Copies of this chain bind each other. A is one copy, B any other.
Amino acid sequence: MVKLSIGIDIGGTNTAIGVVNQDGKILIEDSIPTPPKKLNSNAAQQVSDNLLNDFITEISKTIKSIRTKINFDYEIVGIGIGAPNANYNEGTIEYPPNLPFAGKVAFCEILSAELPDIPLIHITNDANAAALGEKIYGGARNMDNFVMFTLGTGIGSGIYYHGNVVYGVDGFAGECGHNTIIVDGRLCGCGGRGHLEAYCSAPGMKRTAFELLLRDHAEDSLLSAYSYKEMTAKHIYDAAMQGDKIALEVFEMTGKYFGMALATTVHHFSPEAIFLFGGPVAAGDLIIKPIKEGLEKHLLTIFRKRDIPVLISELDPGHAAILGASALVWNT
């Protein structure tokens, strides 16, 4: 009997569901819309409860329909879910910024009531799931101590140490995107200031681009043609590939800040390797080189001897979220 895991990735607009085998192959995949976040209203709590129940029923239906398509002997070992503000310890989603659920939601419990034959349902945030995906199916298969940073709209981190992700006493550990790197610096999406995410995420890179444009009054830069609203990290990448000085410096600066933040993580854990995942990392050496330089510069001497590997995730970017979520099942 083939053992299978179901991975669910709850994103801001879509929720992807896939059946995954122990080798990390996605056998069947489907997706449903994630209900959109509504504006607050008096009826918000009621709306939230209804949306939540409908959403979970929809997930459950989709899983049942997917299962009818499996045409061999199999056993579903469990379900793993990746979601923002997910609490592994309690199986909850708590005060998610981009989902329409209010307060603390017992997501695993409600889903389990809909699918009573599934023996195991775990949930964690996307970055922790990415770390597990790397451990179970990717480049960290033989490692027992590594960190994963995910770069995109935000910055997430997952820390794998001695057999499991570090969840901490409350289930929320591994939020290095919100480490302060510049005292009283840029406003972060979370409301704090100077966080890593405000400098080194894709939107952070755009902010750096404008910082450099105005600093150098660089009207000759290719990047000076975009409005603040329209510029994306992709524009910066394209300009850098054409040798644009400002764009190149954005990658340089982003990498150096990021490397500095990584040094702090190394000082905590002294991991075997650091894995990076996400859009900005696809720029390759343009960003990896300054990351390594920043890391080296900010590491205590004793850690420099080891030349800690900074590696790009081996998971297929298009499927990493489902794979990561499904890995929760195999790691328990």
Contacts and interface: CB of A to CB of B under 8 A. Distances in A.
Given A162-B162, A169-B145, A175 B269 contact: no
A115 interface: no
Contacts of A175: 267, 300, 302-303
Given A94-B302, A95-B302, A270 B173 contact: yes
Nearest to A169: B272
A174 B300 contact: no
Interface in A178-209: 178-183, 190-192
A139 interface: no
A57 interface: no
Contacts of A167: 270
Interface string A284-311: 0000000000000110111100100000
A145 B171 CA distance: 12
Nearest to A265: B268
User: For the complex, would chain A's binding face be called helix, strand, loop or mixed by DSSP majority?
Assistant: loop
A306 B170 contact: yes
Contacts of A260: 180, 183
Interface residues of A, number: 45
A268 B173 contact: yes
A173 B162 CA distance: 14
Interface in A143-187: 145, 159, 161-162, 166-176, 178-183
Contacts of A169: 145, 270-272
Nearest to A143: B169
A326 interface: no
Given A145-B169, A192-B298, A267 B182 contact: no
Given A268-B269, A300-B175, A300-B190, A183 B182 contact: yes
B179 A264 contact: yes
Given A85-B302, A190-B301, A192-B300, A271 B179 contact: no
Interface string A114-157: 00000000000000000000000000000001000000000000
Given A172-B303, A178-B267, A178-B300, 7 more contacts: A95-B302, A167-B270, A169-B270, A172-B270, A176-B267, A180-B181, A265-B268
Interface of A: 85, 94-95, 145, 159, 161-162, 166-176, 178-183, 190-192, 257, 260, 263-265, 267-272, 297-298, 300-303, 306
